[in-house]
Amino acid sequence: MTPSQSHIVIIPSYNTGSKLVETVKQALSCWQPVCVVMDGSTDGSAKALTEMCAHESGLCVLFLERNSGKGAAVLHGFLAALKAGFTHALVLDADGQHSAEHISFFMKASQENPDTMILGVPQFAADSPASRRHGRRVGNWWANLETFWGGIEDSLFGFRVYPLKESVRILQKIRGARRFDFDTELAVRLFWAGVRPINLPAPVRYFPSTNGGVSHFHYLRDNLLLIRRHTLLVLEMLPQMRRIWKLRQRAKNGRKAR
């Protein structure tokens, strides 16, 4: 496989166990290069990846000494990718929830529409947790309010292709979006910056712990973080409502043009 010179896959990982190697292998079979950011992992998974790097030219691994959160890990990967000359990055969860088979589909959409962000819309299996399917509705409503229903169909799903330059510029200007709030805040702020969203369906899988499934979601802590983040975004939105409404109209016209 010839590695892409413009689009890279970034996989942030914190103690995802055996699923990490499996996910990386699947990603490499579908797209190269792939960059894994080890976010202070202590489960020994770094050793297996280091061994993989010895014979996988399309793989790189970055190490953070301490756990800093998904957003911080992705930003670290974004900065490295931008420095290496890449223009876009697809973020893939390390726990196997995202389908690697859809990477090329999303990358192609990004290559054809480089000024957009490609957002995954989760297609839940019948046996997926009901809390995951229904609990995200409130967050989606707030993100839609903050963009005047400008086209962000799912504010929490992490399977996305981001334009690197604009994403890094935004993330370096703010203190938030470093943990569970990353996906929501970056999508909203990219929209505010004039980056039009394109939504594509993507399957999502949830694995039980007996099958290697790992979750670092903390119901109270992470929901409080999202409440705080949405409150701040709404307050920041109010003085620029007119401008955001124009962006919404432009995004709507862009969707019609497709």
The closest alpha carbon to 154, from 178, 131, 179, 133, belongs to: 133
pLDDT at 134: 63
Taking the CA atoms of 79, 85, 91 and 96 in sequence, report the sign of the dihedral they define.
negative
- What fold characterizes domain 7-257? Spore Coat Polysaccharide Biosynthesis Protein SpsA; Chain A (3.90.550)
Identify the CA nearest to 196 among candidates 104, 74, 109. Answer: 109
Q: Map residue 63 onto helix, strand or coil.
A: strand
- What pLDDT, on the 0 to 100 scale, is given for residue 207? 60
Predicted confidence at residue 177, as pLDDT, reads: 72
Nearest C-alpha neighbor of 122 from the set 137, 142, 107:
137
Residue 219 is predicted with a pLDDT of: 63
Is residue 226 within 8 A of residue 155, CB to CB? The reply is no
The answer to whether the beta carbons of residues 92 and 8 sit under 8 Å apart is no
pLDDT in tens, the chain (258 residues): 889 999 999 999 999 888 899 999 999 999 999 999 999 988 888 888 889 988 899 999 999 999 898 999 999 999 999 999 999 999 999 988 899 999 999 999 999 999 999 999 999 876 666 666 666 888 899 999 999 999 999 999 999 999 999 999 999 999 877 777 899 999 999 999 999 999 999 998 876 555 555 565 666 666 787 888 999 999 999 999 999 999 999 988 877 655
Q: What is the pLDDT of residue 9?
A: 98
Domain boundaries, the chain: 7-257
Distance CA(184)–CA(2), nearest Å, equals 33
Rounded Cα distance between 208 and 177, Å, is 28
pLDDT of residue 46: 84
Question: What φ, ψ does residue 153 adopt, rounded to 5°?
Answer: -75, -30
